[in-house]
Amino acid sequence: MTNAQKNRIIDKSFQVFGIVCTFFGLAILAILLYNIVIQGAARIDWDFLKDLPSRRPQKAGIYTAVMGTIWILVLTTMIAFPIGVGAGIYLEEYAKKTKLASLLEINIANLAGVPSIIYGLLGLEIFVRIFGLGGSVLAGSLTLSLLILPIIIVATREALKAVPSSIKDASMALGASKWQTIWNQTLPASIGGVLTGVILAISRAIGETAPLIVVGALAYVPFAPSSPMDEFTVMPIQIFNWVSRPQHGFAVNASAAIIVLLLITFMMNGIAVYFRNKWQKKIKW
Amino acid sequence: MKKTTKIFLGAAVIFGLASCGGNTENTSENSGEQKILTGNIKIDGSSTVYPITEAIAEEFRAIAPEVKVTVGVSGTGGGFKKFARNETAISDASRPIKDKEKVACEENGIGYVQLEVAYDGLAVLVNPANDWVDHLTVEELKMIWEPAAQGVVMKWSQIRDGFPDEEIHLFGPGVASGTYDYFTKAICGEEGASRGDYTASEDDNVLVQGISTDKYGLGFFGLAYFEENKDKLKLVGVDGGEGVVIPTQATVADGTYQPLSRPIFIYVNDKAAEREEVIEFVNFYLELVPEIAQEVGYIALPATEYAKQVEKFQTFISKK
B87 shares contact with chain A (CB less than 8 Å) = yes
From chain A, the residues in CB contact with B21 under 8 A are 227
Does the pLDDT at position A33 exceed 70? yes
Task: Identify whether the C-beta of residue A252 lies closer than 8 Å to the C-beta of residue A39.
Answer: yes
Does the pLDDT at position A138 exceed 90? yes
Read off the pLDDT of residues B204-213 as tens digits, 9 standing for 90 and up. 888 999 999 9
Would you state the pLDDT for residue A282?
Answer: 66
Cβ–Cβ below 8 Å for A243 and B204: no
- The candidate with the shortest Cα–Cα distance to B277, out of B268, B264, B288, is B268
Task: Identify whether the C-beta of residue B266 lies closer than 8 Å to the C-beta of residue B49.
Answer: yes
Q: How far apart are CA A83 and CA A89, in angstroms?
A: 10
SS3 at position A244:
coil
Fold classified for A47-282: MetI-like fold (1.10.3720)
DSSP tag of B19? T
Window from A113-117, A162-166, B11-15, B170-174 with minimum mean pLDDT: B11-15
Q: Which of B20, B51, B224 sits opposite A55 (nearest CB)?
A: B51
From chain B, the residues in CB contact with A52 under 8 A are 58, 61
Does the pLDDT at position B5 exceed 50? no
The residue of chain A nearest to residue B206, with distances taken between CA atoms, is A244
- Domain B38-118+263-318 carries which CATH code? 3.40.190.10
Would you state the pLDDT for residue A66?
Answer: 92
- The candidate with the shortest Cα–Cα distance to A211, out of A132, A111, A135, is A135
Interval B235-253 mean pLDDT = 88
B5 shares contact with chain A (CB less than 8 Å) = yes
Does the pLDDT at position A209 exceed 80? yes
Residue B96 CB contacts under 8 Å (≥ 6 apart), including other chains: B114, B265
Buried (b) or exposed (e) across A42-68, using 16+ Cβ within 10 A?
A: ebbeeebeebbbbbebeebbbbbbbbb
Cβ–Cβ below 8 Å for A216 and B72: yes
Would you state the pLDDT for residue B18?
Answer: 41
Q: Which of B22, B47, B296 sits opposite A227 (nearest CB)?
A: B22
SS3 at position B112:
strand
Residue A25 CB contacts under 8 Å (≥ 6 apart), including other chains: none
Cβ–Cβ below 8 Å for B1 and A223: no
Read off the pLDDT of residues A76-130 as tens digits, 9 standing for 90 and up. 999 999 999 999 999 988 888 888 888 888 888 888 888 999 999 999 999 998 9
Which stretches of chain A sit within 8 Å of chain B by CB?
A: 52-55, 74-75, 78, 81, 134-135, 184, 187-188, 191, 216-223, 226-229, 231, 241, 243-248, 251, 279, 282-283
Chains A and B form CB pairs within 8 A to the count of 94
Interval B119-135 mean pLDDT = 92
Q: How open is the CA angle B25-B28-B30, to the nearest 5 degrees?
A: 130
Q: How far apart are CA B315 and CA B133, in angstroms?
A: 49
Interval B103-117 mean pLDDT = 94
DSSP tag of A136? B
Percent of chain A with pLDDT over 90: 46
Q: How far apart are CA A159 and CA A77, in angstroms?
A: 18
Q: How far apart are CA A136 and CA B233, in angstroms?
A: 41
Q: Which of A78, A241, A279 sits opposite B16 (nearest CB)?
A: A78
| Alpha helix positions (H), B19-68 | 50-63
Q: How far is CA A209 from CA A212, A272, B59, B81, in A?
A: 6, 23, 27, 21
Tell me the pLDDT of chain A averaged across its residues.
89
Read off the pLDDT of residues A8-18 as tens digits, 9 standing for 90 and up. 999 999 999 99
Q: How would residue B6 be classed by pLDDT, with cut points 50, 70 and 90?
A: very low
Task: Identify whether the C-beta of residue A116 lies closer than 8 Å to the C-beta of residue A211.
Answer: yes
Read off the pLDDT of residues B15-29 as tens digits, 9 standing for 90 and up. 444 444 334 344 444
Mutate to test the interface with A, among B49, B54, B86, B221 (most CBs of A within 10 A): B54
Q: Which residues pair with B135 in a beta bridge?
A: B237
Q: How far apart are CA B264 and CA B251, in angstroms?
A: 16
Cβ–Cβ below 8 Å for A245 and B87: no
Q: How would residue A285 be classed by pLDDT, with cut points 50, 70 and 90?
A: low
Read off the pLDDT of residues A234-284 as tens digits, 9 standing for 90 and up. 999 999 888 888 888 898 999 999 999 999 888 888 887 887 788 776 666
Interval B94-103 mean pLDDT = 91
Cβ–Cβ below 8 Å for A218 and B70: yes
- The candidate with the shortest Cα–Cα distance to B247, out of B266, B232, B268, B233, is B233
Q: Same CATH fold, B121-261 and B38-118+263-318?
A: yes
Q: How far apart are CA B219 and CA A256, in angstroms?
A: 30
Percent of chain A with pLDDT over 70: 98
Does the pLDDT at position B315 exceed 70? yes
Does the pLDDT at position B179 exceed 90? no
Mutate to test the interface with A, among B38, B47, B69, B70 (most CBs of A within 10 A): B70
Residue B170 vs residue B18, higher pLDDT:
B170
The residue extents of the domains of chain A are 3-43, 47-282
Pairing between β-strand B234-239 and β-strand B244-245 as defined by DSSP bridges: antiparallel
Does the pLDDT at position B257 exceed 60? yes
Interval A153-172 mean pLDDT = 91
Read off the pLDDT of residues B263-305 as tens digits, 9 standing for 90 and up. 899 999 999 999 999 999 999 999 999 999 988 888 999 888 8
Q: What is the pTM of this model?
A: 0.78
DSSP tag of B69? E
Q: How far apart are CA A143 and CA A124, in angstroms?
A: 8
Would you state the pLDDT for residue A283?
Answer: 66
The residue extents of the domains of chain B are 38-118+263-318, 121-261
Q: How far is CA B200 from CA A70, B128, B162, B176, B229, in A?
A: 34, 21, 28, 10, 19
Would you state the pLDDT for residue B320?
Answer: 64
Window from B79-83, B127-131, B144-148, B248-252 with minimum mean pLDDT: B248-252
Mutate to test the interface with A, among B73, B203, B229 (most CBs of A within 10 A): B73
Cβ–Cβ below 8 Å for A218 and B54: no
Fold classified for B121-261: D-Maltodextrin-Binding Protein; domain 2 (3.40.190)
The end-to-end CA distance of chain B, in Å, is 68
SS3 at position A178:
helix
Cβ–Cβ below 8 Å for B73 and A184: no
DSSP tag of A224? -
Q: Which residues pair with B119 in a beta bridge?
A: B263, B299
Would you state the pLDDT for residue B1?
Answer: 42
Would you state the pLDDT for residue A217?
Answer: 83
